[in-house]
A = this chain, B = another copy of it.
Amino acid sequence: MSPRRLNATAASLLGFLHDEPLTGWDLVATAQQTIGDFWSLTQSQVYRELAWMAEANLIEARERGPRHRQPYALTPAGRRAFADWTAREPGPETIRFPLLLTISFGRHVAPDRLAGFVRSHHERHATRLASYEAQLAIPATVESGDPYRRATLDFGIRYEQAVLDWFDNLPVPIQSESATDEE
């Protein structure tokens, strides 16, 4: 069951365990907060990876805490596995953007419906951008916080800005609700 290579999700969990032992629950929360915007993961996956990493001796279960909490600590082997992972060339990113798919087949979509989709996505991205900028406005995040966090946040801001600019420059048939003929 063990002969599998460390994947990026598992590696991230090991990364978080460098600071202190954490439970699955904590790891889900931490991961979603810090890397969730460019590396989503679910609770289910986390427990699955933890089980596997424990079996592979990359992490070690500690004493259960209050609410049956199960903390895991990094082992020397886990530390090594993480270091090996950091040395691997990170692969290319993948984007899966359903709205672009719908736009691709735009000639088969009712114009006002398409415009509606664009509007709701616009709103979502504007909200996200605002939240990133708010985080950047907290001095602690920027000054004392590590520059790496700042860098990923900066990526998020540039990305959201690019998406919003794109929305705002979409041609009228896609963007606004000038209803015309249908297919």
Q: Which residues of A contact B (CB under 8 A)?
A: 8, 11-12, 15, 18, 34-35, 37-40, 82-83, 86-87, 89-110, 113, 117, 120-121, 124, 146-152, 154-155, 158-159, 161-163, 165-166, 169-171, 173-174
Which residues of chain B have C-beta atoms less than 8 A from A94's C-beta? Answer: 40, 95-96
* In contact, B154 and A98 (Cβ under 8 angstroms): no
B101, B147, B173: which contacts A171 (Cβ < 8 A)?
B147
* In contact, B106 and A148 (Cβ under 8 angstroms): yes
Q: A151-B170, A151-B171 are in contact. Are A97 and B103 (CB under 8 A)?
A: no
27 A-B residue pairs with CB within 8 Å? A12-B101, A12-B105, A15-B105, A38-B97, A39-B96, A39-B98, A39-B100, A86-B102, A86-B110, A87-B113, A90-B117, A92-B98, A93-B97, A93-B98, A93-B99, A95-B95, A103-B151, A104-B148, A107-B148, A150-B171, A151-B170, A151-B174, A154-B166, A154-B169, A155-B163, A155-B166, A158-B165
Which residues of chain B have C-beta atoms less than 8 A from A101's C-beta? Answer: 8, 11-12, 35, 38-39, 90
